[in-house]
Amino acid sequence: MLLTQINLYPLKSARKLSPELWTMDHLGLCGDRRWMLVTPAGEFITGRKFPLLTTVVVEPFADGLSLSCSGHPSLIVARPDAIAGRRSVVVWNDEVSALDGGDDAARWFERVLNTPCRLVYMEPDCRRQVDLQYAEEGVVTSFADGFPLLLIGEASLRDLNSRLKVPVSMDRFRPNLVVATDTPFEEDRWHEIEIGGIRCSVVKPCSRCILTTVDPVTGAGGKEPLQTLSRYRRQAGGVMFGQNLIHRNEGTLRVGDRVRVIS
């Protein structure tokens, strides 16, 4: 099996980047979900409630981001430094400290989403612990929903699309890693894998939400593919599609890397 896609999402719920080669740090893919929108009270904002967020194009550079969205002027946002306003933010049940991205970014997103919000940035030394039910002390993640990496096999999407009237792309599921597989949902049986030189533990199926029903190109919503998935992929804890991973070392991933199942 080979790795066929590497995807990262610099801003949580916004458009992806799909490089051919990318490095991994202690949080996951470098730069993945290090930026996030929050309410004035610090609660995280995603495309679940604001589907237009999925249409925002983000281009990272060494010192910040460029942002663009149809109907709005582009904006350059500098990465805040340690003297920027620090605020407490909440992702699900986790409360962490983040740096504020400034008033210009806040006003830009308020115009795009038509809601009060702030853009925040996670510092490299932030320590957001992964759920201890699935990881040991010291395993951390970014502003991702819960884990450093999400993997999906191509055969699983083919199986789903064979049941849909209108096929959907892998982008609906926002995986970090896509693997060329022959058998649908064979990733459900993996425990330990190695991709290139990166060792990963497969720790938890990914419970899917309404965000999968949002077209990431247009921001339009619907009922599929979640409605169909719920008929045959419902398990304890939700409708499952894809597997959450914890990586055990840092390094570099390349599209075309061999994927080896250890156990």
51-65 tens-digit pLDDT: 999 999 999 998 999
For residue 256, give both structure tokens.
């075309």
Please report the pLDDT score of residue 1 as a whole number: 95
Sorting pLDDT into bands at 50, 70 and 90, what band is 250?
A: very high
Burial (0-12, 13-18, 19+ Cβ within 10 Å), 79 = middle
Please report the pLDDT score of residue 136 as a whole number: 96
DSSP state of 79: P
Which phi and psi angles does 198 have, rounded to 5°?
Answer: -100, 120
Sorting pLDDT into bands at 50, 70 and 90, what band is 143?
A: very high
Query: What CA–CA distance (Å, rounded) separates 156 from 173?
Result: 12
Sorting pLDDT into bands at 50, 70 and 90, what band is 81?
A: confident
Which whole number is the average pLDDT over 8-35? 98
How many other C-beta atoms lie within 10 A of the C-beta of residue 51? 21
The answer, yes or no, to whether residue 83 has pLDDT greater than 90, is no
217-236 tens-digit pLDDT: 999 999 999 999 999 999 98
Please report the pLDDT score of residue 85 as a whole number: 87
Which whole number is the average pLDDT over 127-151? 97
Q: Are 258 and 7 in contact (CB under 8 A)?
A: no
Please report the pLDDT score of residue 84 as a whole number: 78
3-state SS, residue 108: helix
Least confident of 59-63, 102-106, 114-118: 59-63
The answer, yes or no, to whether residue 82 has pLDDT greater than 90, is no
How many other C-beta atoms lie within 10 A of the C-beta of residue 93? 7
How many other C-beta atoms lie within 10 A of the C-beta of residue 227? 12
By percentage, how much of the chain surpasses pLDDT 70?
A: 100
Considering only CA atoms, which of 47, 260, 58, 67 is closest in space to residue 173? 47
CATH of 3-28+130-261, one of 1.10.10.10, 2.40.33.20, 3.40.718.10, 3.30.360.10: 2.40.33.20
Please report the pLDDT score of residue 4 as a whole number: 98
**Which residue's structure tokens are 């840092």?**
250
Please report the pLDDT score of residue 62 as a whole number: 87
Please report the pLDDT score of residue 180 as a whole number: 98
What is the chain's mean pLDDT, rounded?
Answer: 97
The answer, yes or no, to whether residue 124 has pLDDT greater than 90, is no
The answer, yes or no, to whether residue 193 has pLDDT greater than 90, is yes
User: What do you get for the CA distance between the two ends of the chain, in Å?
Assistant: 15
Domain parsing of the chain, residue ranges: 3-28+130-261, 30-127
